[in-house]
Each structure stands twice: as structure tokens, then as C-alpha cells.
Amino acid sequence: MLLAIDVGNSNTVIGLYDGDILLHDWRIRTGVDQTIDEYAMLILNLLRTANIRRESVRDLDGIIISCVAPPVLNILEPLCEKYFKMKPLIVGPGIKTGMPIYYDNPREVGADRIVNAVAAREKYKDDLIIVDFGTATTFDYVTRNGDYMGGCIAPGIIVSSEALFERASKLPRVEFSKPKTIIAKDTVTSMQAGIMYGYAGLVDGIVERIIKESQSHPTVIATGGLAKIVAPETKSIDIVDDMLTLEGLRIIYLRNV
């Protein structure tokens, strides 16, 4: 079995694979102030819910981690050695991805962006744009030949919403959800409409510009926690793939063992 861990700035997604089958997956908050033992107890309890007992942990063949929050990586690496008795594979410089990265400095590309690109290329084998709705919303372009060409980064939906609440004293914090109308009659719905449809427009606008610049006809894949909410309101997103990052981790692990 393989334990795949994707650490984002806001959330951490954990997947347990048996071969190419995803047996279980969990989403937890990313905590930078937890100790090694606290993080270990959380992961072991999640495994226990999947009937993976402490003694069965020995059945793990490996652990792979992608992380954009360095303080958490400093927790997870010693955690794996202490509790799972193995050194995890970390997605980063020097790892085999099977994908040429055409970035001025490839070391600057977030591990999650590369992992998504690898999975999307393996699954869809087309010109691709991958939109990941995380703390930041990232857009990545991959050619049908499997070349990572780069992309762009925009503020994430929740980050933008929180900034609006914090900087505008009369505006409340609102739940991110689809409003019934774009011409809203109250403040909460007005904010929900602006955030939802503003972001849908942002996605469509950036995708349109990538298509124009690349002179391609790509399939647009959306992933991340909010993808299912935003995708139906866009014109450009073709497929929502919630497990894209975990699948990318599995593929990269196999290319490095």
C-alpha cells in the first residue's frame, strides 16, 4: 500500500492506495503549529477509520509527500521515520516526473502544480489546462507531448473573500455558495454573487488567453476543494477531477521506485 500526502497552505489531502486503487482519502486542515506526535496521532486515527490498525502500518510499501508549506514538511519527514519506519519520497528538485519543465527556474514551480500536470497528462493525453482551486488558484498549460509550459497564479477564492471581509468594515464574512440571482437584493447575496460569478469570469478569461497564446484547443481540467462549486458556472471547464493530485503522487512514486 502507498500513503500519498498533499500538503497545501490551507488543507492537506491524504490518500491510501492499494496498487492503482484509491481505497480511502481524507481532507484535513494544514496545521503548522502541531508537534510530530500530534500529527502522527491524527494520521493514525484516520487510518484506523479505514480499519488499518497500527500493526498493519507495516504493510505500507511507501509514502510520498508534496508540500508547499515547508514547516509542515519538517514535521512529516521525521514523523514518517518515527511512526512508519521509512523515509518518505518528497516531490521536489531531482525527483523523476517524466515531464520536461519549461520554466525559467524549474525549482520555483510548486510541487502541487507539477503533480497535477503529471496526473492530467497521464490520464487525458491532450493539450491541457489544469485549474487548481486552492489557497491560490493556479493555471498550468501542458502540451499533448507532455511538456509543462508554465501558467499563472491568482489569489484563491477564500483568500479574496477574507480580504474583502477584513478590509471593508461594513461587509460581513459570508459562506461561499451559489446565489439564486446575480442582481442581489441584500448584502450577503450581493457578496456571494460577486465572488462566485467574478471568479467564474476570472477562470474563463484566463483560460481564453492561454488558449489564444498557445494556439491550441486544450481540455480544461479543474481540481481542488472548490472546483465542483465553481466549474458549473464557467464556460471553459470540461472536467472536474477531485483526486488529480493524489493520482499524480501515485504516478510519480512509481517512477521513482
Indicate which residues carry an active-site annotation.
Answer: 112
Rounded Cα distance, 175 and 152, in Å = 26
What are the φ and ψ backbone dihedral angles of 26, each rounded to 5 degrees?
Answer: -140, 150
Contact assessment for residue 223 and residue 238, using Cβ atoms and an 8 Å cutoff: no
Rounded Cα distance, 75 and 30, in Å = 11
